[in-house]
Amino acid sequence: MAAQVSERFALLKEVWGFLKVRKKWWLAPLFMFLILMGIVLIFAEGSAIAPFIYAIF
């Protein structure tokens, strides 16, 4: 179980390392927005607001 969680956060750790080393801080809001939209789409998939969210895209 713990291995699965660390594997899921491995990508986030790599992105954070990239931002830190390359000093590309302007990409941070973009990544945060993409993660937030992904979470919204996952949780809204089976709800009553799904037609409204899919209409946006």
Encoded amino acid at 48, one letter: A
Q: What is the pLDDT of residue 5?
A: 67
SS3 annotation, the chain? CHHHHHHHCHHHHHHHHHHHHHCCHHHHHHHHHHHHHHHHHHHHCCCCCHHHHHHHC
The range of the structural domain enclosing residue 11 comes to 2-56
Which pTM value belongs to this model? 0.55
CA distance linking residue 52 with residue 57, whole number of Å: 9
Give the tens place of pLDDT for each residue, 3-57: 666 777 888 788 888 888 888 888 888 888 988 888 877 777 777 777 776 666 6
- Count structural domains, the chain: 1
